[in-house]
Amino acid sequence: MDLSLKFDSQGYIPVVVQDDRTNEVLMVAFMNEEALELTRTTGYTHFFSRSRQKIWKKGEQSGNVQEVRGLYVNCEENSLLVRVVQHGGAACHDGYRSCYYRQIQPDNSYKIVAERVFDPAQVYHQQAPDVASPQIRQKLEAAMRQLYGVYIYLRDHDMSEESNTSRLLQERSHSYLLSRLGDELDELAEVQSGEHVHSGRQPDTILEGSQVGYWLFLLAAGSDIPFQSFAPHEALLEGYHGRYSETKVIELREECLRSISEEEPNAIARGLHIGFSLIGWACAAAGVEPLAPAEYDLEQMRRKGLVP
């Protein structure tokens, strides 16, 4: 007998994960048909990441896997409940047993009501290299200026037939560029949480950091924002040394997108600066030099003959 589950229009179904012994709600995620099948055949939870369009196994990086004890469907067949044995003691990548470790207070603030099981800095984060030398700072600024110069050139010279980047800059669709930036910021954060995995944390951080930088530079060039107004090299180092908490990262992401959406030059510059600081934060969290995403982009442009 085939299952008659009602996946949404994009092929997803929400899943509540519950501890089989304590009945505690541990997390909520999404599955597609393949993730559901993997969960059933392997006996361990698999989910589907909507931001990166990829299946991931819970605990594949941290080791905090979830062993399935039962799978249930609601009355309308449009959501699932999975009862599990939570190995490692914590389902949340912030180090708490449950993702619901904060209670909303009457003044709309959050209060942490649980104890941390593990330190995510030890599980996910690696030691960031030292980038304090003036030589590295100068090299970072030079690389960022060179990169921005390419985007300005592609904006001022219509090369739409051979360059998708040039086409995007000719169209100057601010809302589309902003939407893509939001997606890439999500993926960059998911690399640090362990949800977004391709080749490994460090190469994934470089790749996703370069993607965030790509959309930030497109927004900057398309809005005619001078380099010094958003100072991406300074923002990268600011974020690199910032040691942002998860809550701070979420706040900065929202402020970045909100500021850029105002379409006023000073606000856009502020949002761009914040966006680049989040790349710096991710580099520090993964133990990657902040110059690495820019060097990756420059190498891609060399292959295309856009830089010497």
Which residues are part of a known binding site? Answer: 75, 92, 99
Q: How far is it, in rounded angstroms, from Cα 235 to Cα 278?
A: 8
Q: Which amino acid is at 122?
A: Q
Please give the distance of CA 180 from its chain centroid, rounded to a whole number.
Answer: 12
Please give the annotated binding residues for Zn(2+), written as ranges: 75, 92, 99
- Tokens 């519950």 belong to which residue? 18
Region for 77 from its dihedrals, namely left if φ exceeds 0, alpha if ψ lies in -120 to 50, beta otherwise:
left
Residues 6+ apart with CB under 8 A from 175: none
Helices (H), 194-231: 201-222, 227-230
84 — phi, psi (to 5°)?
-135, 160
Give the Å distances, CA to CA, from 135 to 213, 231, 277, 291, 308.
Answer: 22, 17, 20, 12, 21
* Distance of alpha carbon 218 from alpha carbon 197, whole angstroms: 26
At CA 50, angle to CA 257 and CA 207, rounded to 5? 65
CA pseudo-torsion sign 185, 191, 192, 193 = positive
Q: Give the residue from 98, 100, 125, 96 showing the smallest Cα distance to 110.
A: 100
Helix orientation angle between 174-193 and 246-261, rounded to the nearest 10 degrees: 170
Distances (CA, A) of 127 to 31, 39, 247, 305: 34, 34, 21, 35
